[in-house]
Structure 1
């Protein structure tokens, strides 16, 4: 999301020296120029990155080679700051500040291209089969759109407060959105009605749904990061950290329901116990080589074959061994 760049320097000063640089079990460079956004497919087969050079690239992790290269709007100078896989790994949604597009991971073909006239796009999410698209805007509205039926619904629960982070359930029926009004909402994309409201003492900057409908993660821009029971709406655990603040730029739940994996703008990748909120492990990703600022935003995190995986602004895809796994 756009706010990630705003917090990069502050977070680096607060946290950058606290953890020694770690050695991954494997590292693959996906872009020499660095990346603005990234995601890892749920099946662990692919990564998608928005490169600083202007291209969107789908990388085949198993074959260790690029699969597709796309140009958003056909303009290499356009800043694509959001890329997301659908939960079934069949599609990718990409967006800049005014437009969003859907791409097929199987064929590489674009499925559609849409322009937003009101406000700017903050975040996007996609359901299975690209049947539903969720778009967050800076004016506080969240749009749910079905490309096949053209049904559209606007969620106005955040008022006029900017929406920073969103996620969508695999079936497209439920949305999780967090904004500057200090709230994250779980709501129905069929009715627009709020199912659960999760309150924070500061603006909510990161949200994530467990795609097996067990948990939700919401975090503000200071020191309140919680894991919630999606069915009851009650707090399951609060992440335990001693720092004055941690800002999260990525989050992912493990399929076995044991761990939450998060990334930060200050090189850090952290593994948490879902039930207790305790930190299990943490790693410090490597920055880019050369004279550029020596930091790295962790844009994507996930799990592949029992290891934690990250993609950072340095352009590196890295694998990290989890103790006991």
Structure 2
């Protein structure tokens, strides 16, 4: 552990020096800590980023984001986890495997059950999940583009094949009235949760690598695997499209999050930094290097709260807190 900390500190100095040459500024970091001594395979924050769930060495871990302790650990019989999700009330935890999903109760720390899922293709595998409580509802995306909505209260399953390739993003909007999805076919859409009919659709030229939304501010961000990164206003009569502006020929975006006030967008790249953007113009405000224990570290999830505090989780199992208010060029 001691060597790991020394490695992190030395790597941080090196990253800062190297990225500084490209205009990456000093980090507005407040604190950081390590939740895993080994690299993580998957990791997600809860809806308010007070909990973090991650898979490492065949174990599914749930911990407090502030580093104050591990809440639960579940040993996995199968190591190939395709996705994990926490319900908005922090009560339920779900993990998807090749053809089934397992759900746990985080309060009672018990396994609630295993649920088989399938797509239209016999070769389809799970790719994305989302879970909700009160009443319990499960969304499952498949590699053939199929989306299933499992309503446990009414013992009902709806299924639609809206994408032509792997589902890469899947969430329910507020009040569970809308379903947001995206796929490797380049399609980003919003569906009516009751009818599963589309209310909004946008097509990118390549597979979608990251999505963020803030529907209360009428904002939807999508990035493809090449050079199309856009901010949309899906509920406007004439949807406005803002492209992110940067000097490079292309960038690859791994994660994204809007600020609750809709003023800023944070994105994680395929390398060891994150970037802050002005939502209204698409202009880059600045980029900041992350703490890293390995040369391949990248951000796997991020969240901004109402106080404009950003929390990030990277593939080295390191959580960092950032205060974007302290930047001189951030003004209301």
TM-score bin (small chain):
0.7 to 0.9
Partner of 1:218: 222
Give the corresponding residue for 2:4.
none
State the Cα distance separating 1:41 from its structure 2 match.
Answer: 2.2
- Following the alignment from structure 1 to structure 2, what is the Cα–Cα distance between the partners of residues 251 and 270? 9
Shift of 1:313: 0.7
Larger Rg over CA atoms? 2
Matches within 5 A, 1:1-325: 24-51=29-56, 53-62=57-66, 64-71=68-75, 74-75=76-77, 78-118=79-119, 119-127=124-132, 129=134, 131-158=136-163, 160-210=164-214, 212=216, 214-232=218-236, 234-289=239-294, 294-304=295-305, 305-322=307-324, 323=327, 324=330
Query: Any gaps of 5 or more consecutive residues in structure 1?
Result: 1-14
Using the TM superposition, give the Cα deviation of residue 188 of structure 1 relative to its aligned residue in structure 2, in angstroms.
Answer: 1.4
- Shift of residue 236 of structure 1? 4.5
Matches of 2:135 and 2:54, distance apart in 1 = 19
Give me the whole-angstrom Cα distance separating, in 1, the residues matched to 2:268 and 2:68: 23
- How much is the aligned-residue C-alpha RMSD, in angstroms? 2.6
Between the two proteins, the alignment pairs up a number of residues equal to 302
Contact kept, 8 Å, 2:24 with 2:287, in 1: the verdict is: no
1:178 deviates by: 1.6
Instruction: Please state how far the C-alpha of 1:251 moved relative to its aligned partner.
Output: 1.8
Once residues 81 and 21 of structure 1 are traced to their aligned partners in structure 2, the CA distance between those partners, rounded to angstroms, is: 35
In 2, the alpha carbon distance for the partners of 1:321 and 1:171 equals: 30
1:4 aligned partner: none
- Find the aligned partners of 1:31 and 1:19 in 2 and give their Cα distance: 31
For the residue of structure 1 that corresponds to 2:88, the secondary structure is coil
Cα distance change, pair 45–196 in 1 and its aligned pair in 2 (3 A) = same
* Alpha-carbon displacement from aligned partner over 1:172-209 (angstroms, at most 9, x marks no partner): 32112222333211111211111011121222222233
Q: 1:301 to 1:63 in 2, by over 3 A?
A: closer
SS of residue in 1 equivalent to 2:41: strand
String of CA shifts for 1:298-323, please: whole Å, max 9, x gaps: 11101255321111111101112312
SS in 1 for 2:32: strand
Scaled by the length of structure 2, the TM-score of the pair is 0.81
